[in-house]
Structures are given as C-alpha cells and as structure tokens.
Amino acid sequence: MVGGRLCCLCCFFTYSAVLLLGVCLHDVEASNCPRIIHKQVGDTVELPSCLPTEGVTSVVWKFGDKTVADMEQSLNTQSTDRIYLNNTTCSLTVRRLIAQDSGNYSFLSEAKDVQRDTVIITLHVHEPITTPVLTANTTSHAFNGSCTVFLWCTSDGQVNYNWTVKDRTHRGSSTQHYTIRPQDGETTFTCTVWNVVSEQSASTTVTCSNDTSDPTKPEPENFVLFLSVAAGAGLTIIIVVTIIIWVCLHTQRQSEGSDANDLTVYADISDYASEDRTSANMKPCSVYETIDNRVNAATSGPQTVYDKIQFNHMRNASGSP
C-alpha cells in the first residue's frame, strides 16, 4: 500500500515536471518572438507565427480585418508578388514594404482541429531619413568676449535628434544654442537625426573671435568706397541734368527769337514790284518805297497856299509909281 502511494507520488511529480518544462519552453519561445517590428520603406520583413508548428491544420494571416494569406485557400488579397506564406514555419513574408503596410498583423491557427491563441504582431514601416541640413549663427559678446552659437538642424519625417559637442552627445530638439570662447579654438557641432531603423548626420565648425562688430554693417573701407561711388554717380547725374536743362532753355530761346522775327511787319508784307515802275529787272520795293510811290509826284510850281495865291491873283504892275 505504501509502495502504491509512492508510485502515485512519482507519477504526479513526473507529470508536473513535464508540464512545467513545456510551459517554460513555451514562454521562452514566446519571449524570443518579436511582437513589434520596425522596418524601412523598401525593406523585406518576415512575420513569425510565434507558436509551435507541429500538428497545425489551419493557418490564416490577417492585416487589420482583411485576410492576406490562407494556408488552405492560398488566399492573398494584397499582392501576390509581395506576400509569401511559408507552409512549414507558418511565417508571413512581405517584400518591398511601403508606408501603408504599417499596422497589426494577426496569426490565427488550429492544431489538431483545436483553435489556438491569436498572435498579433505590429509592424512599423518608416520613411527613409534624409541627410539633415545644419545651420549655425554666431553672436559675439563684448562684455566677456564669449560667443553664442545658435544651431538649426532640419530633416524630413518624424525623427529624433542627437547633438555631439566636444565628444559629448546628448539628445535634444531640432534647435540648440551653446556658448564658446576664443580659447576653445575650432569647435565642431554634429547633429544626428535617427529613428529605430536608420540615422544621418551633419557637422559644422565654428570659431569664436573677439570681433564684436555687427556682421550686417559694412566694413569702413567698403563704406568709404560706397560713399565715393555714390557721390560720383550723384555728381554725374547733376551734370547731365544741368546740360539737358541748358540745351532745352537755349533751344527755347532760339525758337522764341525766330517767332518774334517772323511776326514783324517786314515778314507780314510780301515783296512786290511797284505798280508805277515798269522796269522788269527792278528789285522788289519795301513798304517805305511802296508808300512813297503811291504819293502823287509833285508838280512843278509853287506847292504852298501862299504860292498859289501869289501866282493866281497877282496883278500886272501898274506903270504908275
């Protein structure tokens, strides 16, 4: 009777050990199965089933609510040349990934006609990272001789930023500012943009100088040269404008003098030959000659009233004293 109890205890412990070993193996296998996978656009991914394949009688892979692979029907609703179902390992392979492939993939299976737990794997497909553009702007401080460096790092997509300065790296945002001094010499700043699948970097070197002049103001030599050129250009413009005004006034005066000459009586009265003169080759007479010619020629004899009276009424001299 005691031997029977010992045998039962041995069987119980043996069954418990086997069951515990099976649970441990299952947990180890499940822990080695990734439930979240990150890939880049254009890559190929293999989604594991995360369950034993012995005695599997039915396998279905779904993307969201859509069935993308079925072992029995060889169903593939997305793209037959991109999706492949391995009937031995029950894994699902997706080639030439695109951003729209991101989402939850469900593995449904039956072993010996018994439904097993559903395995869900989340796939993240990331856009490729472009090389960032790093811009630096330095401002000098006269009171202590230091410089403040402002940095901007830009890149496409959702990325994280790491900054490396003097062999020290820390995580930050897309903009940073640092303080450096002339004794630091050349200081290199590196911006690294990254995600879980790739990364890209850009660097720039900055030196702090004691020159506190405003970089937006022109240098003195250049400023003097600029003033000289501006003065010369202004003087040239003044001379040209003066010449143009003088020419215009001179032309106007000549025009007014010509008009005044044309408006005199000499211009209005046309030349003509005297009616009393019959000579063919006689020159045209002026207005004075015309007026003079039209006066009747003086007759011989007395021209005054007195003369007329004397001549017309004179009596013969009497012989008496």
State the Cα torsion 304-307-312-316 to the nearest 10°: 180
pLDDT at 25: 40
150: pLDDT strictly greater than 80: yes
Residue 208 and residue 148: Cα distance in Å, rounded? Answer: 9
Asked whether the predicted pLDDT for residue 302 surpasses 80, the reply is no
Q: Do domains 33-126 and 133-207 have the same CATH topology?
A: yes
Q: Which residues contact 182 (CB under 8 A, 6 or more apart)?
A: 145, 147, 207, 208, 209, 210
> Does residue 166 sit in helix, strand or coil?
coil
Asked whether residue 305 carries a pLDDT value surpassing 70, the answer given is no
Please count the residues of the chain.
Answer: 321
Q: How does strand 36-40 pair with strand 168-172? A: unpaired
Segment 281-287 shows an average pLDDT of 48
Residue 288 or 223, more confident: 223
- Judging by beta carbons within 10 Å of its beta carbon (0-12, 13-18, 19+), is residue 213 exposed, middle or buried? exposed
Residue 58 has pLDDT above 80, yes or no: yes
What distance lies between CA 181 and its chain's CA centroid? 34
- Per DSSP bridges, beta strands 114-115 and 160-165 are unpaired
For the ranges 23-32, 57-66, 92-101, 232-241, the lowest mean pLDDT is seen at 23-32
Question: How confident is the prediction for the chain on average, in pLDDT?
Answer: 74
Domain 33-126 is classified in which CATH homologous superfamily? Immunoglobulins (2.60.40.10)
**What mean pLDDT comes out for the span 47-76?**
86
Residue 37 in this model has a pLDDT that exceeds 90:
yes
pLDDT of residue 223: 63
Using an 8 Å Cβ cutoff, are 273 and 285 in contact?
Answer: yes
Q: Could you count the other beta carbons within 10 Å of the beta carbon of residue 122?
A: 13
46 and 99 in contact (C-beta within 8 Å)?
A: no
Q: How many CA atoms lie within 13 A of 56 on its CB side?
A: 23
Matching CATH number, 133-207, of 3.50.50.60, 3.90.230.10, 3.40.50.720, 2.60.40.10:
2.60.40.10
Domain boundaries, the chain: 33-126, 133-207
Q: Which residues contact 107 (CB under 8 A, 6 or more apart)?
A: 47, 49, 50, 51, 59, 60, 61, 90, 92, 118, 119, 120, 121
Dihedrals phi, psi of 290, to nearest 5 degrees: -65, -50
Say if residue 263's pLDDT is above 80: no
What percent of the chain has a predicted confidence (pLDDT) above 70?
Answer: 63
Region of poorest pLDDT, from 55-59, 85-89, 304-308? 304-308
Higher pLDDT, 249 or 306: 249
Highest mean pLDDT among 16-25, 35-44, 272-281: 35-44
Distance CA 246, CA 29 (A): 104
What's the confidence (pLDDT) of residue 15? 45
For residue 263, CA distances in Å to 115, 257, 259, 260, 271 come to 125, 10, 6, 5, 15
Six token digits for residue 115: 């439904």
